[in-house]
Amino acid sequence: MRFQMVCDPGARSDACHRLASAAARRRAATVGTLAAVACGLAMTACGSQNSPGPAASAGTPVGTATSPGSPSPASISACVASRLKIGITNTGALAGQAGGYLKFTNESRTPCHLTGWPAVIGLSAAGTATPLRHAQSTMFGAWHYVAPPPVVSIQPGNSAYAVVAADDQPARANTRCPAPYVRLQVSPPGDSQSVTISAWLPGAGSFLPACTSADGSPTAETSAITTLSSLPH
């Protein structure tokens, strides 16, 4: 005798009915037993095909949706002069230097970032232009260079800073310092555009000094971009 498993409920019912009838007519226990086993196997096989697999069972996620996170510094554009308000703050004189903090405020509606040294040129009243050197450390602001320079992300309305300072006393044989810088021409790191601001230091009661070292080189310098929290204020 040959049995065929079917998964159609109607067909399964008819097959079971025919097998049961054959068992009754022949009074054959073995046929009745085989009929019952066949019907049970058919129901088990059909139940296995119709039940959901593990991936589709309740409580098991098929997929996970993720939300984009905050933009990384690499995905944020560099701040340019046209998007910044640049000024000088926290001015004063300390330990033989006078200076202040250049303040770069993001005036745009989107974040931007700054890293490295700004390009700063000191301008005297006579028009002499002197590039400020890149400091590795300063007494004013107690700043020390850390390699690589940090990437400072600036949200709209927030600011990043750089120390600007110079010796305020003549060195050794020099009897006096050259005329001070009355203006500063400032470019954000990597930007060719600049902004010209006053070099007046209210906290020191003077313009940014143009004093030179013993070898005649300018002492005015600027730090790399940093955060206000890393500087005394």
3-state secondary structure 10-73: HHHHHHHHHHHHHHHHHCCHHHHHHHHHHHHHHHHHHHHHHCCCHHHCCCCCCCCCCCCCCCCH
Alpha-helical regions (H) of the chain = 9-26, 29-50
- Does residue 30 share a domain with residue 99? no
Q: Is 116 found in the same domain as 44?
A: no
Domain limits for position 35: 9-50
**Is residue 103 included in any domain, yes or no?**
yes
134 and 84 both lie in a single domain: yes
Q: Are residues 121 and 215 in the same domain?
A: yes
pLDDT of res. 11: 41
Does residue 59 form part of some domain? no
Same domain, 94 and 190: yes
CA-to-CA separations, 195 to 2, 153, 202, in angstroms, rounded: 95, 20, 20
Assigned domain for 72 exists: no
Q: What pairs with residue 144 in β-bridges?
A: 137
60 domain-assigned:
no
Residues 168, 94: Cα–Cα separation, whole Å: 9
Do residues 162 and 219 share a domain?
yes
| 84 and 199 together in one domain | yes
Exposed, middle or buried by CB within 10 Å (0-12, 13-18, 19+), for 84? buried
Per-residue pLDDT of the chain (233 residues; tens, 9 = 90+): 433 333 344 444 444 344 344 444 444 434 344 333 333 433 333 333 333 333 333 332 222 222 223 444 557 999 999 999 999 999 999 989 999 999 999 999 999 999 999 999 999 999 999 999 999 999 899 999 999 999 999 999 999 999 999 999 998 777 899 999 999 999 999 999 999 999 999 999 999 999 999 888 999 999 999 999 999 98
In a domain, 71, yes or no: no
Quick one: 38 and 113 in the same domain?
no
**pLDDT at position 233:** 84
* pLDDT score, position 73: 52
| Number of independent structural domains in the chain | 2
Residue 80 contacts residue 188 (beta carbons within 8 Å): yes
Same domain, 87 and 46: no
43 with 83, same domain: the answer is: no
pLDDT at position 172 is: 77
Please check whether residues 206 and 140 belong to one and the same domain. Answer: yes
Q: Are residues 126 and 214 in the same domain?
A: yes
